[in-house]
Structure 1
Amino acid sequence: MKRALIALALIAAAPALADSSLPPAALANTQLPDPKQEAAAKALMVTLRCLVCQGQSIADSDAEIAGDMRALVRRRIQAGEKPEDIRQWLIARYGNWVSYAPPVEPVTWPLWGAPILLLVAGTVIARGSLKRRRRT
């Protein structure tokens, strides 16, 4: 019984111990001194998805990896890299999923086509329902 309680306590405590105790990356939460560079970095950060949170951009996420990605973006912008080059590097490293605007490719056609198909299906169903109501 005692072992089961200890195991249960360890399992419950695991999420609390998931983040490291290391300090955040140097530019994770610090703006760049040049306002133009910071604006370019922020514009890029809001278009990149946090790999942990999945529903948040790296600009909004408090996850450790999002902080690392913010620092990386700021360092590269500060070094003079273009935002699109940084985006392409991150996509090459993490896949198209890291971008909120995936490219239109055969693999992503369902992603782009599903809203249109659902709209057409809803219209067809609504028309059929209205025709039935008119007949009665």
Structure 2
Amino acid sequence: MRRGKASVLLRVACLLACLSMALAGAAPTLQPQQEARAHHLAQSLRCPVCQNQTVAESNAPLAQDLREQIQAQVAAGRSDEEVRAFMVSRYGDFVLYEPRATAQTWLLWLGPFMLLGGGALVLGARVRRAARAELSADAGRSGEEVA
């Protein structure tokens, strides 16, 4: 008899442990305004695995974890910037769909145009130099013919 009660108690304890673990991992329930904020944040972050999808769009397991993390942080009262800063600290600037304006990002955006402008300046200088050389050669030839 004792053995049967112990077995039932052990099964109930295991069931309660599994239930508490499942509830601990569940995403917090959010109010509609918080849910909208969490969704907006998930749309502004890139899935580190999928690369071309937002966290909100991706079906990857990591994206699901990130959505739950975002919801937990919104439920905890963190601001949008605090949530983004947390994600950047974990995954780097790559996770942001709209990268921050830093010297490195400005160089990435403006670098090709600066190289193109520099190439145009070099090309223009060479064309002018060649034109001057041709004019001076023409002037030398016309002077020789007269003399």
TM-score calculated relative to the size of structure 1: 0.60
* Superposition pairs of residues 56-135 of structure 1, within 5 angstroms: 56-113=53-110, 117=113
Mapped contact 2:30–2:71 kept (Cα < 8 A): no
Deviation of 1:111 (Å)? 3.4
Q: Distance in 1 between matches of 2:109 and 2:26?
A: 38
CA apart distance, 1:58? 0.3
| CA shift for structure 1 position 43 | 0.8
Structure 2: any 5+ residue segments left out of the alignment? Answer: 1-21, 121-147
Q: Give unpaired runs (5+ residues) of structure 1.
A: 1-22, 125-136
CA distance in 1, matches of 2:108, 2:37: 28
Which whole-Å CA distance do the structure 2 matches of 1:52 and 1:102 have between them?
18
Name the aligned partner's letter for residue 77 of structure 2.
G
How far 1:83 moved relative to its partner? 1.5
Higher relative CO (CA 8 A, sep ≥ 6), structure 1 or 2? 1
Task: Name the structure where helix makes up a greater proportion of residues.
Answer: 2
Kindly, what percent of the aligned residue pairs are identical? 37
Aligned residue for 1:26?
26
CA contact (8 A) 1:104 1:112 kept: no
Instruction: Please report how far the alpha carbon of residue 48 of structure 1 lies from its aligned counterpart in structure 2 after TM superposition.
Output: 0.3
| Closer/same/farther in 2, CA of residues 109 and 80 from structure 1, 3 Å limit | same
Task: Normalising by structure 2, report the TM-score.
Answer: 0.56
1:53 — aligned with what?
50
Query: In the alignment, is the contact (CA less than 8 A) between 1:47 and 1:100 conserved in 2?
Result: yes
